[in-house]
Structure 1
Amino acid sequence: MNEPRHEVKQAIEKIEVPEGKLDQAILKGIGKAKDQQKRPSRKIYPFFIAATAAVFLTAGSAFVSPAMARMLSSVPVFDSIFEFAGDLGLVIASERGLSQGIGQTVTDQGISLTIEDVYYDGTRLSLSYLQEGIDEKGRIDQLGELQLFVDGKEINFGDSRTGKQLGDTQYAGVINIHSVESLPDSFELKIGARHISDVSGSWNFTIPVKKAKEAVKTISSGETVTYEDQIITVKDVKIGPAGTKLSLSISAPDASSFMMVDDHLIQFNLLDEQGNALTLLDAYGTGDDLKDGRHIIEMEFRYEPLSDDVKALTVSPYLMPVNTGAPVKIEQELLPDHLPLTVDQGEMGSIIVHSIRHGDDRMVLTFESDSEFPFDGYFQYNTLWLEDEAGNNLTSSKKALPERIRPNIYEQEFKKADGPLTLVTFEMHELKMLKEYEVSIPLR
């Protein structure tokens, strides 16, 4: 969306952004988020450092509104916007029948907005919506900033959004809401929207919200590590059917140095006992409290749902370089008869292309990350794509991100093309793992 708080997430979701420009976008977005707050009593710092892909699956749903039914007539294999535009956790929640069907529609200025479903389990609060209508210029405008009230009290929150345009007049989206205040098990949620891009109007909703039936398991830690001038406390991890939430408390000498050490940004992987990184969906921070002369921020990182067989998790910090300048682009001809193909990315190791399969309307590339760094399920912080002979990017609009199929092995879909193909990527600066500062969290 076009709100300042989404700039970091938007920048990273454009997978063609070079590494150096991406670093600058992260810092720029963080800075703007700090400066532009509705309610100054307590700050929210969005760190939307993950690219979230729409997941395309088929599953059932107990409720479909008329607006949703019209949308599904053009996309008949989906029964829920959560399944169409949400992350894996929301797909699972919808498949299990844990989301609440709402189906409330409000129309103003010729634009209809429908709240379709809500999901709440204590680790996340997510809404799906359908927008119909165009402005005077024939555009589908983007939903602006919201006002939220819980049991009549306005709350301070941040949000992250995903979605997809359907046809010429419809847009389906998901909003993940991150509340500063703790929310009760059940409450009345009032939603107010005053702008859809440049169109002013009034789209107001009142919906009941109840915590999902499946319980969320909380594992407390409390372990603290200190790296340079950053003091990091692992508070707990919450495990639910729609996601895994890691809560950290981080203190720094001043507010401008949160998670920054020299020219590096501290980030966190969450690893299973096999060393596989859980896919990071989004992250945000709240606070900037002052205690004993140090500034404190409460960080929450939301990852993919955890499989039942995982017995332990490890919080693994690492350093991401920023302000590294324009990266070196690598282009290499991809010859199907000369595979495997190894592409050296410098400090971060290599990409090894094992195969490319051609279907009726797509190509599927299978590649391996030959690196000590544990990239997550979407190969985030790294990128590759294919170009045709004319230099057109062949990245699929349906499945734009790689998906991990085995440890370090990924598949990525591309548009089908005839003729020569070129694989494009960049040299990578080191993402340095801080193994001596890892924190283990037994789950059993």
Structure 2
Amino acid sequence: MDKQWFNDEVNKIDVPKEELNIAIQKGIARAKAEKPVKKIHKKRRIALLTAASICIGVLGSGFVFPQMTRVLADVPLVGKVYSYFHDSIGQNLSASKLVTELNQQAVSNGISVTMNSVYYDAGRIGITFKVDNPEEVFMKNNSGRGFYYDFKLVDGSEKWGRAASFDGKITKDGWLGNIHIDYPEKELPPNTTLPITITSIGDTKGIWKFDIPVKQLENKIIHPQVSVSSEDTEHTLNFEKITVGKSSIAIDYKAMYPLVGENDLARIGKVTDDKGNEIDFKTSGIEFGREKVGNQIQSDERSIFGKVPEDAEFIALHPNVRLSEKPSIQDLNQKTPFEIQSTRSDFKIVVNSIQHKKQKLILQYTLQNVDTKHISMDELINRGEVMNLIDSSYLDKEFAPIGHVIKGSNVKVLDKEKLQFQATFQLDGEYGVKNFSLKNYVLEVEMLPYHPEKTLPSVKIPLK
């Protein structure tokens, strides 16, 4: 940190000198009591402890310096924090001194939280923070390995909620938090500030507000304008933009779906470099909105992968599509056998018999036209176990309450060659149903899991 810059910024702030001196002395005492993680040259140790004492003392006093935001010069702890969360992007950027240091502190209900660092690279934001005095946190379920917390991003909308993932770890370096945000907009505006409000730590409620400055690192933009379609031409992906960041890569594409597949999911299954090495997967299928255009559904989407080798001549994208289909609802008192036909393929389930015996419902069924090359027997059993029994009076509701639904069954194989199975539903017990009858309950069958992924041709994108 530049000394003159620091002095200039501090001089702008009206700080009670007596309180500041007390805070600094406390910080010095705390710093002397701490043992360094690894050996440091004596002279360097004195310099680091002095700087740490001042920072800890000032920040520990409750003052907030939002302007103390600088690119890291040499702070190994930041990279170590990212390693706790297996954040390879953060680790790589930290090693290259491309992570932005944050010294923003907020105090609520006696608990101090300090935001430590942030990066934005090719569509992903990474943030780290530390709980400064965890001994003040009340937590009912303390495993000693991690802590839980809740927070609100920007306006707290669902869009921002879906974009975030987070974790908290209890380490020898303290209580550390990590928040990942797959930026839910196509472009990051210049001079972006990201409001974050932590609303609870453990079981302690509070309001810890921060304004995080986010800046895009220098990157390379490629506009390949390459399209690829499925063999049946139902699905098309147009690759419009590739952002090659310092430690990650963002792939923007427009996916076209048939109307019957308005909820299908086009994804980049994997990315490989010119030597066939697979690039680390980060996230796939960030959607910026779907709309009907003619006889298609169009969706602007993004997938994020890890660092591409600097000497790579090209990357290969390997897309796929997951077909969607609404659950099939069947009356239990209809005559057997009856067929449950997929609306997306020739797959079907033949229900051979339904028997209601005391507190059990036993259903025998046969699968036909199943892609057994891509779906194993264990997977077929698991798919059968997600069938449900639902009180028909709740079909128009968002969900049926306990006592009016049986979630899942036990499935066994009757004939492996003929793909014949038996599903047994337990009607009583803690999660049983009241007043069950074949007339008043229906069978809900998820058809989606029986569809294998539809593989699209791979696409080569030159990088040079």
What TM-score do you get using the length of structure 2 for normalisation?
0.49
Change (3 A) 1:107 1:177: farther
Q: Which amino acid aligns with 1:112?
A: S
* Conservation of the 8 A alpha-carbon contact between 1:155 and 1:179: no
- Aligned with residue 239 of structure 1, among 237, 241, 244: 244
Whether 1:442 and 2:447 are equivalent positions in the alignment is: no
Q: Which amino acid aligns with 1:277?
A: E
Q: How many residues are paired up?
A: 267
In structure 2, C-alpha distance between the alignment counterparts of 1:224 and 1:430, rounded to whole Å: 24
In structure 1, C-alpha distance between the alignment counterparts of 2:293 and 2:219, rounded to whole Å: 31
In structure 2, C-alpha distance between the alignment counterparts of 1:107 and 1:287, rounded to whole Å: 38
**1:192: how far off?**
1.9
Residue aligning to 2:227: 224
- Aligned with residue 161 of structure 1, among 150, 166, 174: 166
- Aligned with residue 186 of structure 1, among 191, 195, 209: 191
* Conservation of the 8 A alpha-carbon contact between 2:164 and 2:179: no
Which sections of structure 1, spanning at least 5 residues, go unmatched? 1-61, 71-75, 324-345, 349-428
Residue aligning to 1:303: 305
Whether 1:292 and 2:320 are equivalent positions in the alignment is: no
Change (3 A) 1:226 1:83: same
* Conservation of the 8 A alpha-carbon contact between 1:347 and 1:430: no
**1:156: how far off?**
4.6
Q: Which amino acid aligns with 2:229?
A: T
Change (3 A) 1:254 1:187: same
In structure 2, C-alpha distance between the alignment counterparts of 1:98 and 1:181, rounded to whole Å: 22
Any idea what the Cα deviations from partners look like across 1:45-80, whole Å, max 9, x if unmatched? xxxxxxxxxxxxxxxxx997649x99xxxxx98443
Larger of the two Rg values belongs to structure? 2
Q: Which amino acid aligns with 1:286?
A: F
Change (3 A) 1:118 1:86: farther
Residue aligning to 2:97: 97
Q: Which amino acid aligns with 2:152?
A: L
Any idea what the Cα deviations from partners look like across 1:353-407, whole Å, max 9, x if unmatched? xxxxxxxxxxxxxxxxxxxxxxxxxxxxxxxxxxxxxxxxxxxxxxxxxxxxxxx
- Aligned with residue 148 of structure 2, among 134, 142, 150: 142
**1:99: how far off?**
1.0
Deviates more, 1:133-142 or 1:215-224: 133-142
Alignment of 1:2-401 (within 5 A): 66=56, 78-80=77-79, 81-131=81-131, 133=134, 134-135=137-138, 137=140, 139=142, 141-148=147-154, 156-157=159-160, 158-166=163-171, 170-180=175-185, 182-196=187-201, 198-212=203-217, 215-227=218-230, 228=232, 229-254=234-259, 257-260=262-265, 267-283=268-284, 284-318=286-320
Q: Which amino acid aligns with 2:171?
A: L
What TM-score do you get using the length of structure 1 for normalisation?
0.51
Q: Which amino acid aligns with 1:190?
A: P
For 2:277, what is the secondary structure of its paired residue? coil
Change (3 A) 1:181 1:249: closer
* Conservation of the 8 A alpha-carbon contact between 1:82 and 1:174: no
For 2:183, what is the secondary structure of its paired residue? strand
Q: Which amino acid aligns with 1:442?
A: P
Q: Which amino acid aligns with 1:441?
A: I
Residue aligning to 1:389: none
In structure 1, C-alpha distance between the alignment counterparts of 2:238 and 2:177, rounded to whole Å: 38
In structure 1, C-alpha distance between the alignment counterparts of 2:216 and 2:158, rounded to whole Å: 18
For 1:250, what is the secondary structure of its paired residue? strand
**1:244: how far off?**
1.0
Change (3 A) 1:230 1:321: closer
Q: Root-mean-square deviation (CA), in Å?
A: 4.1
For 1:89, what is the secondary structure of its paired residue? helix
For 1:94, what is the secondary structure of its paired residue? helix
Change (3 A) 1:274 1:293: same
**1:102: how far off?**
0.5
